[in-house]
Amino acid sequence: MRKPRVLFVCQEITPYLEENPMSHIGRYLPQGIQERGKEIRTFMPRYGLVNERRNQLHEVIRLSGMNLIINDTDHPLIIKVASITSARMQVYFIDNEDYFQRKHILTDARGKNFDDNDERSIFFNRGVIETVNKLGWSPDIIHCHGWFTALMPLYIKKAFADNPLFAETKIVYSVYQDGFQGNLNKNFSTKIPVEGINKSDVKHVSADPNFINLTKLAIDNSDAVVYSASEINPDIQKYVKKTGKLLLQYQSPEQYLDTYSEFYDKVLEGSAIVAD
């Protein structure tokens, strides 16, 4: 019997970006889960802030070369990889010159959201799925970290539901304090659909594509939710409770690794306890 497989899709990972609660989990959770007997793969965007030379990123030619069409425009998908030797783990990077060459993450130097964050998120999530598909690696769990990954559950559950690699995959979505001000592009909901996704599937973000509605979209298509911050938006908490999704409450940095690993096991069993 093979080891359970966990795919980590992360908005930020240290040491490639500055350390914060999300990037810290992105770095140490995969290592901890691997050390607890599970097989892992980890992905993040190749933001322009990521120093390729210092972190020894290199392109994976056999995985690159595909084009993703977003809003009727072709965008080349470039895959890069780096190793964290001390953790015996690799990190795959989704790259594209149009979306990820700028020297900032999600906001410009003045703190303003990039106008194309909607398309950047679409490209990243679809890029991860296409790359995992090309690898032929079937994840038992996909754990999404940060709002930038919020479309992953939708794509897996709707667009790739009939793909043998993802047919049995469970989705865990982590909610952080990473909300953004205002809305994403007003046409966001029209850019998301691919075959298998229709207008009703993106109703949450049709009229008001803000952080809360995007999070609701992610929760609707997830099997379980994790509160990865000590304080969570009250509206999101109410929504999670209303949906009855499997929930793991916030865990302190000192104890979260064992608890997360046990939670994955419960999710795979098809039922989970609410951990206090």
pLDDT score, position 275: 44
**How confident is residue 1, by pLDDT bands cut at 50, 70 and 90?**
confident
pLDDT of residue 254: 83
pLDDT tens, residue by residue, 16-51: 999 999 999 999 999 999 999 999 999 999 999 999
The average pLDDT across 223-231 equals: 97
76 residue type, one letter: P
Instruction: Output the DSSP codes for the chain.
Output: -PPPEEEEEES--TTTS---HHHHHHHHHHHHHHHTT-EEEEEEE--TTS-HHHHT-EE-TTT--EEEEETTEEEEEEEEEEEEGGGTEEEEEEE-HHHH-SSSSSB-TTSPBPTTHHHHHHHHHHHHHHHHHHHT---SEEEEESGGGTTHHHIIIIITTT-TTTTT-EEEEEE-S---SS-S-TTHHHHS--TT--GGGGGGGTS---HHHHHHHHHHT-SEEEE-SSS--HHHHHHHHHHT-EEE----TTTHHHHHHHHHHHHHHT----B-
What is the distance between the alpha carbons of residues 238 and 225, in angstroms, rounded to a whole number? 13
Average pLDDT value over all residues in the chain: 95
136 — alpha (psi -120 to 50), left (phi > 0) or beta? left
The pLDDT value given to residue 24: 96
pLDDT band at 270 (very low <50, low <70, confident <90, very high): confident
The mean-pLDDT minimum among 14-18, 193-197, 252-256 falls in: 252-256
Q: Residue 274 — pLDDT band, cuts 50, 70, 90?
A: very low
Please write the tens of the pLDDT for every residue from 136-185: 999 999 999 999 999 999 999 999 999 999 999 999 999 999 999 999 99
Distance CA 99, CA 127 (A): 12
| Tens-digit pLDDT profile for residues 88-107 | 999 999 999 999 999 999 99
CB 120 within 8 A of CB 150: no
What is the percentage of the chain residues whose pLDDT exceeds 90? 94
pLDDT given for residue 276 in this prediction:
40
Q: What is the pTM of this model?
A: 0.96
